[in-house]
């Protein structure tokens, strides 16, 4: 079996395109088939080399590879022109100078039937395919079943412009034939193009491939997926701190599922179990919150060295023991790579104070409790998690305050905010010297604020 992924480099790779790529990839690995990557770069205005580079980068990040290509549709233009010529010679196609207005008025007079031109001996006229009046063109679709289009409703459509340049549906049909594609898996938005591509193939006396048209992606609000639903391109997902394996797993489930609805599937599982004919017809919902959850699961499952290496790459820092220890501490809590630095950054640099967190946490007795914590911690010989834990728990017991009343002011003093890994781990990781000096600074601030208010 031979599949193909055929993006047009007219923009970045969006999530829908990534899913199409992934399904083709999974199916071609699973069936021990092959995958062709074909860049449909024939739109001179909108296709750019930057988009090509960005699509290839996105596929690489997702770790999706291919066996043949990247082939470029534009480089095959001579072949497309040759086919048009052949079809003209065998009268499967004809030249027709009718303008769009003339076609429209013809259709109006003819009960909106598919347009049939008279043809003319005009070498500078556009070329149309002769579509039969009888019968119907049936798209045999693995997802939608048989979808029939009556031929009488299909226009004799243009396959080459008046300058001879081939049009999209012709190029796709010829390429799929020449590249011996057996299975076309692509977005639903192409379903209406498919009968035209089949008609070209049939005119050439060949059998069309199998088709599978994937349902559109929607956001949780049921509207077509777009930027307002969050990250919408592969690069945006990467830059938001998602792991490629989590993205792959999540995207695989957009429209497809195993019989028992498992959610966490390794790439090997996906390859072994993915089946195109189990893809649903209804629009699938992309919900970034679910992706976050899944990403958190993958993050927690990484070996700590791998985890540290990925965090380091994300925040552009060198890997060292301190970073490794800090990452280990954050691993339970962070759902994305982007969430790690806010959980550990205060270990490496002076934190920025979150004023809101400060006002919420610092109460009347906070300065006194900070004093008690300070002296308990100052007395310690060892500063490991167990020693710190014992000392701070003793402060709770001695003061009779609630644990949060003791720990939260310490947390804000050390980290600048009210969210961090466990308080004992945080204190221990920061070390005695920094801990004491940040607590002192917080006490000073508390005192001066109290002085100011009364």
Residues near ligand GLU (CB under 6 A) are 6-8, 40, 172, 186, 190
Strand pairing class (210-214; 2-5): unpaired
Q: Shortest approach of ligand GLU to residue 16 CB, angstroms?
A: 9
46/447 with CB nearer ligand GLU: 46
Helical axes 244-252 vs 15-30, angle rounded to 10°:
80
227 labelled catalytic: yes
Q: How many angstroms separate the Cα of 318 from the Cα of each of 230, 349, 429?
A: 30, 15, 18
Q: How many angstroms separate the Cα of 427 from the Cα of each of 123, 349, 358, 385?
A: 83, 15, 18, 8
Q: Shortest approach of ligand GLU to residue 60 CB, angstroms?
A: 18
Beta bridge partners of 185: 212
Given CA atoms 423, 425, 426, 427 in this order, what sign does their dihedral have? positive
40/183 with CB nearer ligand GLU: 40
186/292 with CB nearer ligand GLU: 186
Helix (H) or strand (E) holding 185, with range, is: strand 183-187
117/208 with CB nearer ligand GLU: 208
Other beta carbons within 10 Å of 186 = 22
Q: Identify the DSSP state of 224.
A: B
Closest-by-Cβ residue to ligand GLU is 186
Q: Shortest approach of ligand GLU to residue 363 CB, angstroms?
A: 59
Instruction: Find the catalytic residue in 223, 224, 227, 390.
Output: 227
Q: Shortest approach of ligand GLU to residue 100 CB, angstroms?
A: 23
d(CA 269, CA 442): 52
Given CA atoms 224, 6, 178, 97 in this order, what sign does their dihedral have? positive
d(CA 190, CA 39): 16
172/401 with CB nearer ligand GLU: 172
DSSP E strand stretches across 26-123? 34-39, 68-72, 93-96
Cβ distance 187 to 156 under 8 Å? no
Q: Shortest approach of ligand GLU to residue 187 CB, angstroms?
A: 6
Q: Shortest approach of ligand GLU to residue 35 CB, angstroms?
A: 13
Tokens of 376: 């308990």
d(CA 258, CA 275): 9
38/95 with CB nearer ligand GLU: 38
**Residues annotated as catalytic (active site), given as ranges:** 227
């Amino acid at each position: 079996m031979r599949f193909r992924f055929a993006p047009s480099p007219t923009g970045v790779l969006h999530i829908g395109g990534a899913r199409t790529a992934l399904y083709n990839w999974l199916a071609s690995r699973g069936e021990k088939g092959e995958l062709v990557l074909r860049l449909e770069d024939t739109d001179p205005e909108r296709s750019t080399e930057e988009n090509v580079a960005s699509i290839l980068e996105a596929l690489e990040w997702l770790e999706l590879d291919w066996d043949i290509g990247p082939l470029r549709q534009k480089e095959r233009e001579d072949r497309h022109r040759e086919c048009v010529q052949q079809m003209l010679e065998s009268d499967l196609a004809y030249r027709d100078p009718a303008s769009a207005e003339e076609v429209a008025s013809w259709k109006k007079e003819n009960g909106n039937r598919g347009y049939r031109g008279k043809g003319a001996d005009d070498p500078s006229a556009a070329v149309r395919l002769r579509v039969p009046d009888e019968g119907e063109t049936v798209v045999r679709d693995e997802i939608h079943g048989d979808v029939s289009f009556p031929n009488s409703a299909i226009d004799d459509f243009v396959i080459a412009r008046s300058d001879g340049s081939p049009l999209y549906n012709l190029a796709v049909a010829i390429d799929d034939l020449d590249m011996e594609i057996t299975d076309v898996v692509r977005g639903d938005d192409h379903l209406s193009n498919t009968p035209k591509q089949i008609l070209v193939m049939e005119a050439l006396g060949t059998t069309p491939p199998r088709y599978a048209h994937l349902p559109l992606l929607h956001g949780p609000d049921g509207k077509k997926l777009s930027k307002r639903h969050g990250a919408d391109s592969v690069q945006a997902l990467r830059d938001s701190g998602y792991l490629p394996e989590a993205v792959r797993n999540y995207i695989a489930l957009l429209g497809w599922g195993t019989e028992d609805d498992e959610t966490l599937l390794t790439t090997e599982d996906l390859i072994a179990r993915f089946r195109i004919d189990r893809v649903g017809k209804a629009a699938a919902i992309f919900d970034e919150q679910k992706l976050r959850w899944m990403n958190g699961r993958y993050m927690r499952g990484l070996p700590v060295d791998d985890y540290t290496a990925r965090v380091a790459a994300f925040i552009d820092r060198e890997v060292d023991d301190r970073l490794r220890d800090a990452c280990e501490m954050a691993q339970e809590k962070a759902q994305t790579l982007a969430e790690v630095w806010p959980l550990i950054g205060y270990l490496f640099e002076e934190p920025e104070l979150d004023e809101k967190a400060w006002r919420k946490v610092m109460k009347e007795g906070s300065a006194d409790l900070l004093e008690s914590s300070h002296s308990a911690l100052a007395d310690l010989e060892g500063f490991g998690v167990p020693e710190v834990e014992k000392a701070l728990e003793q402060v709770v017991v001695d003061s009779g305050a609630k644990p949060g009343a003791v720990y939260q002011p310490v947390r804000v003093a050390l980290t600048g905010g009210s969210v961090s890994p466990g308080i004992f781990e945080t204190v221990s990781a920061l070390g005695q010297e920094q801990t004491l000096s940040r607590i002192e600074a917080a006490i000073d601030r508390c005192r001066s604020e109290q002085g100011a208010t009364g």
